[in-house]
Amino acid sequence: MQLKINALSVIVVLSCTFFSCSREKVVENVPREELFSLNYGNFEDEINLFSLSDVGEINTSLVMHEGFFYIANGEAGKIMKMNSYGDLLTLYFNEDINPVPSVQAGISGSNATRKSISYPFNSISSIAVDSRQYLYVVDRLPPERVEYDSNTKEILGQVVLRFDDEGNFLDYFGQQGRGALPFAYIRNIYVTRHRELVVICKSDDSNVGETVYWFSSEGFLLTKLQINSKNVPNPVDPEGNESFVAIENVVPGYDDRMLYLSINYYRNYVDEASRVQSGIEYISTYLYSLDVETGIFDEGIEVPSDYYEVAGDYSKHEFNVPYEFMGVTATGWAFYVNSIDAGLNVQMVQLNGQHILKRVLTFDRYRSLFYALNLSETGVISALIGNKEKASFCWWRTDSLIKAAIKN
């Protein structure tokens, strides 16, 4: 998961920029394990994050699956599979924009264990890997194949490519299944334990919201759900007259056909001194599970917020802010993160509400130009951290932390 700033959560904070922010709560750190690093460049074992010819956000994402790292480097039009020592095992690449890799040129020796697969990627983003080591890749279609939905007023230009464990291209997924109508903007993709692909699409139209496509392992569409701010629970304001609802993230469960929704609730913020509305104030966050087959929400659990203490010359103010929802592990823990000066605050919430753990994941955010995170199904948080010199890869064994906490 690549972290993105939630605009609603920072409106109040931005209105107080004349203060300096600080945190005083002491939370235990989780040890960071440095694994390997990659130099910047266009060769097969290098990564390109900062192409000067591209405008917009960085399109590079990371998945760690069973100890292997899959790096979708959108700027370079390639995907690298590497082990935890940084050895390149498989390279999927667009040969029109990448140099021919050494293994492709037939060089023997250490490269004999590597393989490369040429595929004409257009603009790749999210990836997922299933238990068979099948690779799923979100890619944009060429302009001549893009379609337009006159009902939703959306451009349909993305598909999900599927490769088998040997790197052979199998097929692509569209809205109705294999080879079907393209998707609109894909927010993320996931694969469950049962090898079922879940595609989460997001619309700019608040009436559409999030559209979830759930496919069987054979590629058939099992269900399609539309989730927006009007059809989700609102425990803080049942009538919906005084609050704003923001669906922060939607992710599927790993074992069952369940969706987990993290929803933030806001209200108008009125300045006490002037009595004038000056922004939006965060109220609370709830995590819900939604049964995909019945369409029924559970009661949900309230997720504790993070906070910022803002100090001025003569006063201090404390603002609650929401965490960002990463996902749910196979062991039944929901992971939330929030950026801080020292790195990241991580909050782990057991789905039955019995335990909540808070820790700090440390790294030098001031030297980091970009970072992407991934939560594995077992609860390991991995990171790609790009600075001026190179891109580093590390992980935090939060899975071991959870086991120890429960045991004690």
Q: Say if 162 falls within a structural domain.
A: yes
Structural domain harbouring 352: 8-407
Q: Are strands 88-93 and 115-118 parallel, antiparallel or unpaired?
A: parallel
Distance, in Å, from the CA atom of 87 to the CA atom of 357, rounded to the nearest integer, reads 34
Is 340 a member of any domain? yes
| Rounded Cα–Cα distance for residues 38 and 27 (Å) | 31
pLDDT of residue 245: 93
3 inside domain? no
Instruction: Give the pLDDT of residue 25.
Output: 54
Which residues of the chain have a pLDDT value below 50?
1-24, 52, 105-110
In a domain, 92, yes or no: yes
Q: How many structural domains does the chain have? A: 1
Per-residue pLDDT at 58: 86
Q: In the 3-class helix/strand/coil scheme, how is the chain assigned residue by residue?
A: CCCCCCCHHHHHHHCCCCCEEECCCCCCEECEEEEEEEEECCCCCCECCCCCCCCCCCCEEEEEECCEEEEEECCCCEEEEECCCCCEEEEEECCCCCCCCCCCCCCCHHHHHCEEEECCCCCCCCEEECCCCCEEEEEECCHHHCEEECCCCEEECEEEEEECCCCCEEEEEECCEECCCCECCEEEEEECCCCCEEEEEECCCCCCCEEEEEECCCCEEEEEEEECCCCCCCCCCCCCCCCEEEEEEEEECCCCCEEEEEEEEEEEEECCCCCCEEEEEEEEEEEEEEECCCCCECCCEEECCEEEEEECCCCEEEEEECCEEEEECCCCEEEEEEEECCEEEEEEEECCCCCEEEEEEECCCCCCCEEEEEECCCCCEEEEEECCCEEEEEEECHHHHHHHHHHC
Q: Residue 369 corresponds to which tokens in the numbers above?
A: 């130009």
Residue 5: its pLDDT value, please? 33
- The full 3-state SS of 285-337, as one line of letters, equals EEEEEEECCCCCECCCEEECCEEEEEECCCCEEEEEECCEEEEECCCCEEEEE
Which tens digit of pLDDT belongs to each residue from 82-99?
999 999 999 999 999 999
Q: What are phi and psi of 59, to 5 degrees?
A: -105, 55
Q: Is residue 1 part of a domain?
A: no
**Quick one: pLDDT at residue 166?**
93
Report the chain's terminal Cα–Cα distance, integer Å: 30
Q: What per-residue confidence (pLDDT) applies to 15? A: 33
Residue 2 inside a domain? The answer is no
The answer to whether residue 374 sits within a structural domain is: yes
- Residue 167 belongs to some domain of the structure: yes
* Cβ neighbourhood burial of 376 (10 Å; 0-12, 13-18, 19+): buried
State the number of CA atoms in the 13 A half-sphere of 192 facing the CB: 19
Give the CATH number of the domain where residue 267 resides: 2.120.10.30
